Amino acid sequence: LPTNMTSNSNLSNMKRLVEQLKLEASVERIKVSQAAADLQQYCLQNAGKDALLVGVPTGSNPFREPRSCAVV
């Protein structure tokens, strides 16, 4: 590329970076306390359905080998 195009390219990249940063800086944000409360609420609301967290009742697990009964 001719040198003026390269410097044009650097300049345009830099300009783009500045525009991108302006965009990111202008994002509307909420407080972490609010965000954290919402995340926590989602976890707690859905905890009951989370099989890996709370387990599933035996017998309803298709991956488990069927247990045999032993007469003691």
Residues of the shown chain interacting with another protein in the complex, contacts defined by CB under 8 A:
7-25, 27, 29-40, 42-47, 49-56, 61-64
5 SS3 class: helix
- Listed residue (17, 16, 21, 13) closest to 5, CA to CA: 13
* Closer residue to another protein in complex, CB, 24/70: 24
Given the complex with another protein, which of 55 and 72 has the nearer CB atom?
55
Q: How far apart are CA 29 and CA 20, in angstroms?
A: 17
Cβ at position 55, least distance to another protein in Å: 4
Q: How many C-beta atoms surround the C-beta of residue 64 within 10 A? A: 10
Q: Which is nearer to another protein, 49 or 72 (CB)?
A: 49
**Shortest distance, position 44 Cβ to another protein, whole Å:** 7
